[in-house]
A = this chain, B = another copy of it.
Amino acid sequence: MSTNRSSADIRRVAAEAGVSIATVSRVLNDPKRVSLKTRQRVLEVAERLGYRPNPNGKRLRKGRAETVGLVIPSPPGRFADSFFLELLTGLGEGLAGVGLDLLVATCPPHEDELACYKRLVEGKRVDGLVVARTRLYDTRIAYLLEQGVPFVAHGRSDQIKTPYAYLDVDGRQGFYRATRHLLQLGHREIAFIGAPNEFNFAQHRLEGFQLALAEAGVALRPEWILEGDLSEESGYRLAQLLLGELPPTAILCANDLMAIGVLRALRERGLRPGREVSVIGYDDIPQAQYTDPPLSTVHQPFREAGRRLVEMLLDQLEGKDAGTLQEVWVPELVLRGSDGPPTR
């Protein structure tokens, strides 16, 4: 004899407990407002009936979606960056316990991305958003600021001056450290494979590299500063350009995927990564541990970031000023097998 499964209503609970629905609601949302005795009775009944407030009733009444959104851009043919999965996991972890849901939308190309944000915002489907992989001038951020929608960015957007909440990992520091490390090992011939300029982090990482070089008084060869598109393929292709007669003794890559492409190019030339040519990546994606040799890289704590982003968003939803929610984390250099002293 199963209890009536079809989801007890707040009315049902109220009737069964001999109180008004208002009291039931108060018991759940503001317990101190109701006397201990009735509170217990109501709780007991609610428990027994397996009552769960209907989220749509609540959402309608409160005028909130009780949902935060994340838009994942997914290249049509290829695989999406696994960094999103880690971020997503972190967001999920942060959201557990809090009553909010996580809405994920995927967007094909580049420009439609903004349209996707508009759909979520104008359709009132989310109370707030997480914006990932920020650009130098990020139209998504501009839009959200204009609309006054709470959001928090993973990464900054340097050309946007209005204050907004962000959590960034300091790419300048990251690559400054990586470069210093290479310099200390004795490298003087270091090449750089950067990211497309539209991304906000591209310039930062380059600057870290340049700064370390300048401090050490090491000349910067313009022809050794290249720009890839963050794919393995582009790392592979650009490395081939680099590996002429007198190749650099080290290559810094703005992300791990490109570094993986570089490793492949090196192997094909019979150059051992970490011996003839050192390679350092950025991100510390999972597969970085399983390349040959394991990739030295700059570690980004994506999952922790996801958790923190949720906290920051929550703060905003409770009215905290976005301008006060700005953090920059310093990443760590993790050395595995793809770097070593130069052999010439």
A-side residues, CB < 8 A to B, are 5, 7, 50, 52, 54-57, 59-60, 65, 67, 72, 74, 78-80, 82, 84-86, 88-89, 91-93, 96, 101-108, 122-125, 147, 232, 260-261, 263-264, 267, 285-287, 289-292
B-side contacts of A267, CB under 8 Å = 292
B-side contacts of A78, CB under 8 Å = 286
Closest-by-CB residue of B relative to A148 is B5
Smallest beta-carbon distance A150→chain B, Å: 16
Smallest beta-carbon distance A238→chain B, Å: 15
- Is B101 within 8 A of A102, CB to CB? no
B-side contacts of A101, CB under 8 Å = 103, 105, 125
Q: Give CA–CA (A122, B198) in the complex, Å.
A: 44
B-side contacts of A7, CB under 8 Å = 122, 124
Smallest beta-carbon distance A89→chain B, Å: 4
- Is A124 within 8 A of B55, CB to CB? yes
Lowest 4 CB-CB distances: which A-B pairs, in order?
A: A92-B106, A79-B286, A56-B60, A56-B59
Copies in the complex: 2
B-side contacts of A108, CB under 8 Å = 93
B-side contacts of A232, CB under 8 Å = 289-290
- Is B79 within 8 A of A85, CB to CB? yes
New A-B pairs, 10, CB < 8 Å, besides A84-B85, A291-B292: A50-B122, A52-B123, A55-B125, A56-B60, A59-B60, A79-B286, A93-B106, A232-B290, A260-B287, A260-B290
- Is A122 within 8 A of B52, CB to CB? yes
Closest-by-CB residue of B relative to A74 is B89
A105's partner among B57, B92, B123, B263 (CB-CB below 8 A) is B92
- Is B88 within 8 A of A106, CB to CB? yes
Smallest beta-carbon distance A204→chain B, Å: 25
Closest-by-CB residue of B relative to A63 is B56
A89's partner among B55, B72, B286 (CB-CB below 8 A) is B72
B-side contacts of A91, CB under 8 Å = 106
Q: Give CA–CA (A60, B72) in the complex, Å.
A: 28
A55's partner among B105, B107, B123 (CB-CB below 8 A) is B123
A124's partner among B54, B147, B286 (CB-CB below 8 A) is B54
- Is A104 within 8 A of B104, CB to CB? yes
Smallest beta-carbon distance A26→chain B, Å: 20
Smallest beta-carbon distance A145→chain B, Å: 14
Q: Give CA–CA (A74, B147) in the complex, Å.
A: 34
Q: Give CA–CA (A56, B59) in the complex, Å.
A: 6
